[in-house]
Amino acid sequence: MQSKARITALGTHVPEKRLTNEDLEKMVDTSDDWIVQRTGMKERRISAENEFASTLAFKAIENLIKQSQKDVSDVDCIIVSTSTPDYTFPSVASQIQKHFQIKQAGAMDLNAACAGFTYGLHVANGLISSGLHRKILFVATETLSKITDYTDRTTCILFGDAAAAVLVERDEETPSFIASHMGTFGEGGVHLYRTNLSTTMEEHSLNTSGKIVQNGREIYKWASRTLPTGIEELLQQAGLDFDDIDWFVPHSANLRMIESICERTGFSIEKTLTSVEYMGNTSSVSIPLALQKGINEGKLKNGDTLLVYGFGGGLTHAGLIITWGTDDVRHSTN
């Protein structure tokens, strides 16, 4: 299906509180050098006790409106990517509908973990290109700090909180979406999980603390094998070469992992946008944070061709090649 959808606006929000490597040194047996060598991270943002996925989402949407002067009252579908909703139900999307008094819109949350941003864009593109919708508000919002075990030094150094919002609108003349690729390795689900109703996964007994449990070594190996193949599929589908891509924007899980993927694929780290150094791993929000950072630094410009790739729990992954072309009138991260 030929795309008839364009990403027309972007907004982001991060909480005020910073959690630095020096702060973590006081909490667990770790050090700034150890964290930087293994992850490239220096800081991450942490939501306040009374801030939730919906709270951050509202502020990201407000930032989108401020940057683009866009109206969200007429969107006809709201999609939210989150692994940390305020409630099992009602959905965060429903809370957004109420908060912004959007009269005629369907609302749903989806959970593809760290691949949520690329999954959500894929869904929004399909709904608009098929003619079912004309204007979709898509939000990624995560409060991972609330489900992080701060006694586990291997995971507590990783995660941060943030939200981002985009508008995807019907545009038959200058669509954003060029190619897409999705995949799943469900057998690896046991390597990254948070329990809910079930306490076992097939023959495996699970840690039922309600916190994130991750086998970082296995996730690293899976991502390093999977992304190069997915990227090759995307380029072939689009009929493009590496040199045709202006910016590679992978999920900012870990800077060392991104460097490894760049080495395996041939992408230059200098042509890669990340948000990991001062935001940590923000799951489905990491890609739009990197996009906003690229805009703020004068790197990302309208007309640029991007290869964005999300990967994470499930184990799910999804990549897109898109043309960047928003209607934003100003750029700032609040």
pLDDT at 204: 82
Residue 20 has pLDDT above 70, yes or no: yes
Query: pTM here?
Result: 0.95
Residue 255 has pLDDT above 90, yes or no: yes
Q: Which of 63, 251, 262, 317 is catalytic?
A: 251
pLDDT at 24: 98
Q: Per residue in 31-71, pLDDT tens? A: 999 999 999 999 999 999 999 999 999 999 999 999 999 99
Residue 329 has pLDDT above 60, yes or no: no
Q: Which of 77, 114, 156, 262 is catalytic?
A: 114
Confidence of residue 197 (pLDDT cuts 50, 70, 90): confident
Confidence of residue 11 (pLDDT cuts 50, 70, 90): very high
Question: Does 317 qualify as catalytic in the annotation?
Answer: no
Q: Which of 21, 63, 125, 281 is catalytic?
A: 281
Question: Does 196 qualify as catalytic in the annotation?
Answer: no
Residue 215 has pLDDT above 50, yes or no: yes
Compute the distance between CA of residue 115 and CA of residue 228 in angstroms, rounded to an integer.
16
Over residues 196-223, the mean pLDDT reads: 87
pLDDT at 331: 44
Confidence of residue 328 (pLDDT cuts 50, 70, 90): low
Q: Per residue in 95-145, pLDDT tens? A: 999 999 999 999 999 999 999 999 999 999 999 999 999 999 999 999 999
Summary mean pLDDT of the chain: 95
Compute the distance between CA of residue 276 and CA of residue 285 in angstroms, rounded to an integer.
11
Question: Does 111 qualify as catalytic in the annotation?
Answer: no
Compute the distance between CA of residue 12 and CA of residue 14 in angstroms, rounded to an integer.
7
Over residues 212-230, the mean pLDDT reads: 92
Over residues 188-198, the mean pLDDT reads: 87
Over residues 162-175, the mean pLDDT reads: 98
